Chains A and B, each alone.
Chain A
């Protein structure tokens, strides 16, 4: 009983604090893995997709847990099982396809090795490093605003229509760079100008404030790689005649 209470207490702490959630998940890796193994009827290694699904399900369980839902661990086990089942069902659609990692016989190499690499591995790793730097810098700037990527993900628009509305506001900001400078200087989102300039509903933007913030920060100097990644959004929207 005492132990149960302890778990529940740490779960509720983890709901508030990302770091606490990570710690809790790490502490329960054996439990998660055993649940995943039960589910797929074989030992679950860290490289299995099911393993990561189970980890994610556990995180979801932390966030979704409520006291009236009974014991936390049984609840988490339920979530893990159902997520893995979902995943397996989804994967069943691809069953006919062969994996590029699959090896035909013992000494032949995987299919992947026969594919020619487009990119030079060195160049690739250099790019990865650059990307990492960019992301780390962005994360630190966002931390100044008190926002993490996890927050942004929670705050991100889900509907296509909302996404487009937000993109419109972002494009407007991109074209009016003084807005971005204003943002960096005052550390405040120039919401009024965004609303006035883009014609998007204020409510929509307010609801996705953190997301807008992150996207605007990406539009400021120095995030070419990230910007290149989401170029599709910006060019399409930016290219559209006003």
Chain B
């Protein structure tokens, strides 16, 4: 390749190569018109580098935009995810999912009538209250709900506080809305993980039926004492369990009554003697070391009740071994020692603590 020097500058020379390119090269004392065989080309990457800068800028901008999109969609997704569910049962049963802000994210008919009720119903941008009102109105329109009818609401949330705060609110709201023409029953339901199946020695039901405990069920509309099948936790039992927490038993150890149960009327009051009893004296040591909260209810007749099967409420600190206690009721005393191990596994009884 030969180069014809076209122009000379102190910094560089412009040469025309035999392929017809004009290039800037190092000026090695060239003279215009001179032919040279070898040149040292100037690097001409400036436009390229500028382009690269722009590209880099675009990349970072794109990355930022992507992050933003992810973030926003993430937030929206969180907002859209069901935080709690309200089961509205008239006869049609409808599940209403709400997010943290009590905005309805989904409405779904649980049974056939429920599907019928929610057909063509749009819940977009509506609050829980509004959706409930509208659904009840629809139910009235569609002849599901009549004068003197009954509406059951059950709340399902991982957050107990939510359940507590909404229970009364929803009831009163609905009552207000229906103008007292329809009875509204409220059930509180908390979501619990299914528990380990641990068989619990069961005593004849009658025994505890005689006791006040049996009456607890009267409080709630649902599931009274079931034939004792611990493997099969019935959801409704939770409610009952909550009542217990308010009972005097609870007071014995821990003040925190988490549940929303109605305290005063509960038959437990009658059972209040227990408090005075030796329950409190508890040998804490007897309780399992891992979860001191566990009480040894198992052995007692109480164990045979449904309470066992369902509740997994967090165990409170104090442990009272009812078993060991000197108590008038003989059933409580059943084989304490054998069952301690089982108790470890079962959170169920912890409700008693409360």
Smallest CB separation, A89 vs chain B (Å): 12
Check B26 against A49 for contact (C-beta < 8 Å). yes
**From residue 222 to 254 of chain B, which have CB atoms closer than 8 A to chain A?**
none
| Interface size band for A | 35 or more
Cβ-closest chain A residue relative to B18: A232
Q: Among the interface residues B16, B31, B32, which one has the most CB atoms of the partner chain A within 10 A?
A: B16
Q: Is the CB of B19 within 8 A of A55?
A: no
Q: Do residues A25 and B20 form an inter-chain contact, with CB atoms below 8 A?
A: no
Residues of chain A lying within 8 A (CB to CB) of residue B31: 128, 132
- Which of A58-66, A178-186, A191-199 lies on the face that meets chain B? A58-66
A49-B28, A53-B26, A158-B44 known; A233+B20 contact, CB < 8 A: yes
**B285 interface contact, C-beta 8 A:** no
Chain A residues proximal to chain B, CB less than 8 Å: 18, 21-22, 25-26, 29, 46-47, 49, 52-53, 55-56, 58-60, 62-64, 83, 87, 128-132, 134-136, 138-139, 148-150, 152-158, 163, 166-167, 170, 211, 214-215, 226, 229-234
| Cβ 8 A contact of B40, one of A49, A158, A214 | A49
Distance between Cα atoms of A116 and B280 in the complex (Å):
122
B18 in complex: contacting residue of A53, A62, A229, CB < 8 Å: A229
Inter-subunit contact A163/B14 (CB<8 Å): no
Asked if B10 and A22 make an inter-chain contact with CB atoms under 8 angstroms apart, the answer reads: yes
Give chain A residues whose Cβ lies under 8 Å from the Cβ of B25.
Answer: 56
On whether the beta carbons of A56 and B26 are closer than 8 Å, the reply is yes
Q: Which of A53, A136, A138, A163 contacts B21 (CB 8 A)?
A: A163
Q: Is B33 an interface residue (CB 8 A)?
A: yes
* Chain B 22-37 residues near chain A, CB threshold 8 A: 22-29, 31-35
Chain A residue contacts of B23, Cβ below 8 A: 153, 156
Q: Which residues of A contact B328 (CB under 8 A)?
A: none
Contact B24 A153 (CB under 8 A): yes
CB-nearest residue of chain A to B47: A154
| Bound-state Cα–Cα, A166 to B40, Å | 24
Is B22 a contact partner of A214 (Cβ separation < 8 A)? yes
Q: Once bound together, how far apart are the Cα atoms of A236 and B276, in whole Å?
A: 115
Q: List 26 interface pairs A-B (beta carbons < 8 Å), by A numbering.
A: A52-B28, A56-B25, A59-B42, A62-B11, A63-B46, A128-B31, A131-B4, A132-B33, A135-B6, A136-B32, A139-B6, A150-B14, A153-B14, A153-B22, A153-B24, A154-B24, A154-B44, A156-B22, A156-B23, A214-B22, A226-B16, A229-B4, A230-B20, A232-B18, A232-B20, A233-B18
A97 CA to B21 CA in the complex, in Å?
A: 29
Q: Is B2 an interface residue (CB 8 A)?
A: yes
User: Is B43 an interface residue when CB atoms closer than 8 A count as contact?
Assistant: yes
Answer whether A56 and B7 are a contact pair too, CB < 8 Å, given A150-B24, A153-B14, A167-B20: no
A163, B33: Cβ atoms closer than 8 Å: no
Contacts of B26 in A (CB 8 A): 49, 52-53, 55-56
Contacts A56-B42, A229-B4 given; indicate if A25 touches B14 (C-beta within 8 A). no
Question: Assuming A167-B20, A230-B20, is B42 touching A52 (CB within 8 A)?
Answer: no
> B residues engaging A (CB < 8 A)?
2, 4, 6-7, 9-12, 14, 16, 18-29, 31-35, 40, 42-44, 46, 49
Which of B12, B27, B28, B43 has the largest number of chain A CB atoms within 10 A?
B12
The answer to whether B4 and A148 touch across the interface, beta carbons within 8 angstroms, is no
| CB neighbours of A158 from chain B (8 A) | 44
Query: A64 to B46, Cβ gap below 8 A?
Result: yes
Q: Is the CB of A22 within 8 A of B9?
A: yes
Indicate which residue in A25, A47, A64, A87 contacts B11 across the interface (CB closer than 8 Å). A25
Q: What are the residues of chain A within 8 A of B11 when measuring CB–CB?
A: 21-22, 25, 55-56, 58-59, 62
- What are the residues of chain A within 8 A of B7 when measuring CB–CB? 135, 139, 148-150
Alpha-carbon separation in the docked complex, A167 to B12 (Å): 25
CA distance A134 to B20 in the complex (A): 16
State the CA gap A64–B48 with chains docked (Å). Answer: 11
Tell me which of A21, A132, A152 contacts B9 (CB under 8 A): A21
A26–B22 CB distance below 8 A: no
Distance from A207 Cβ to chain B, minimum over Cβ atoms (Å): 11
Closest chain-A Cβ to B326's Cβ sits at a distance in Å of: 86
